[in-house]
Amino acid sequence: MELRTLRYFLVVAQEGSISAAAEALHLSQPTLSRQLKDLENDLGKTLLIRGSKKTTLTEDGMLLQKRAREILDLAQKTESELRQSNTHIGGDVWIGGGESEGMRLIAQTAYSLQKDYPDIHVHLLSGNASDILERLEKGLVDFGVAVGNVDLNRYNSIWLPVVHEVGLIMRKDSPFASLSSIQPDDLQRMPIISPRNEGLRNSLTEWMGKRFETLNVVATFNLIYNAAFLVEEGIGYALCWSRLVNTLGNNALCFIPFEPRIEVNINMVWKKHQIFSKASQKFLEQLQEIV
């Protein structure tokens, strides 16, 4: 009975489905099914009742679930204690991030961490929410900083205490620049430069009381830095959240928030059942302290 197989078994018990567990573990379904069958043969017990849509535990399976957690917890604790004798901690931490002030907390964490562990190196990859989550699923990043609505049932997460309002970036000489806020009816009369963010579009549909497709979308983007050039050239008004574009001093642009107010959530997420490197674990612990 291998620790790896026990971990597989616990994921199946948690997900309630071999196919869902195989996806979470990044295994093929036949491979996972074979591992589980071998475990049952080794123990001489039927552990799972395999239904067409759901997999449930037998009485023996429930007993193994309890014991497996204890075994794995003890193994993890023992490994952690043994590693404490190794004073050198280093390695790479890969983080995908959307544009937000939440990345400042990531930077603060990296700075604080490298003071104690100078051989830990942090690598940042930028993109919108779909880009980041895709990299996360493929294992290309350890963590993702996701802006907007994310299905947190699929991930472990830390909420980052940063507030962004949704609104429009526009030229200061725009006829709408004198407004204190943007109303739903105002939006219908503008050429819109839209982010490719499904969560934000869904929020706007609810806010407007109309389908997002009713807007006059003249261009799209995934990072606001480049979209700001389109705004400066007068192509349209860019949907985004506050504090991402410099609107101070002689800058040609300004930000006008929506009314009623829309706020976006920011979470750092990582895959469930993920096994961290020592460097990634230290990063997570440091961020938890800062938050």
**Domain of residue 17, CATH code:** 1.10.10.10
What is the rounded CA–CA span in Å between residue 264 and residue 185? 21
Judge if 134 and 182 occupy the same domain.
no
Q: Same domain for 40 and 112? A: no
Residues 105 and 220 in one domain: no
State yes or no: cis peptide before 260, omega within 30 of 0: yes
Provide the terminal-to-terminal Cα distance of the chain, rounded to the nearest Å.
40
pLDDT score of 85: 44
Average pLDDT over residues 231-236: 96
d(CA 215, CA 207): 13
Residues 6+ apart with CB under 8 A from 63: none
C-alpha pair distances (Å), 82 with each of 7, 77, 78: 21, 9, 6
Please tell me whether residues 139 and 275 are part of one structural domain: yes
Number of structural domains the chain divides into: 3
pLDDT band at 78 (very low <50, low <70, confident <90, very high): low
> Do 175 and 249 share a domain, yes or no?
yes
Q: What amino acid occupies position 95? A: I
Residue 82 banded pLDDT, cuts 50, 70, 90 = low
Higher pLDDT, 226 or 98: 226
Q: In this structure, are 148 and 61 located in the same domain?
A: no
Both 115 and 253 in a single domain?
no
Residues 171 and 284 in one domain: no
Residue 56 structure tokens:
């449930």
Share of the chain above pLDDT 70, in %: 96
Single-letter amino acid, residue 288 = Q
How far is C-alpha 20 from the chain's CA centre?
A: 19
- Judgement on whether residues 59 and 110 belong to the same structural domain of the protein: no
Mean pLDDT (whole number) for 139-158: 86
pLDDT in the model for residue 77: 47
Q: Is 40 exposed, middle or buried, given 0-12, 13-18 or 19+ CB atoms closer than 10 A?
A: middle
* Helices 278-290 and 102-116: angle between axes, nearest 10 degrees: 120
pLDDT per residue over 101-117, tens digit each? Answer: 899 999 999 999 999 89
Q: Which of 83, 101, 127 is the last residue of a domain?
A: 83
Span 181-193, average pLDDT: 95
Q: Look up the CATH number of the domain holding residue 95.
A: 3.40.190.10
Among 91-95, 219-223, 231-235, name the one with the lowest average pLDDT: 91-95
Q: Are strands 155-159 and 263-264 parallel, antiparallel or unpaired?
A: unpaired
Same-domain status, 215 and 72: no
Domain that holds residue 35: 3-83
Q: Are residues 278 and 142 in the same domain?
A: yes
* Helices and strands counted in the chain (H then E): 10, 13
158 and 37 within one domain: no
Question: Is residue 80 predicted with pLDDT exceeding 60?
Answer: no
Q: Which two tokens stand for residue 188?
A: 């219908």
DSSP bridge partners of 165: 263
Separation between Cα atoms, residue 25 and residue 32, nearest integer Å: 9
On the question of pLDDT at 70 being above 50, the answer is: yes
pTM of the predicted structure, to 2 decimals: 0.65
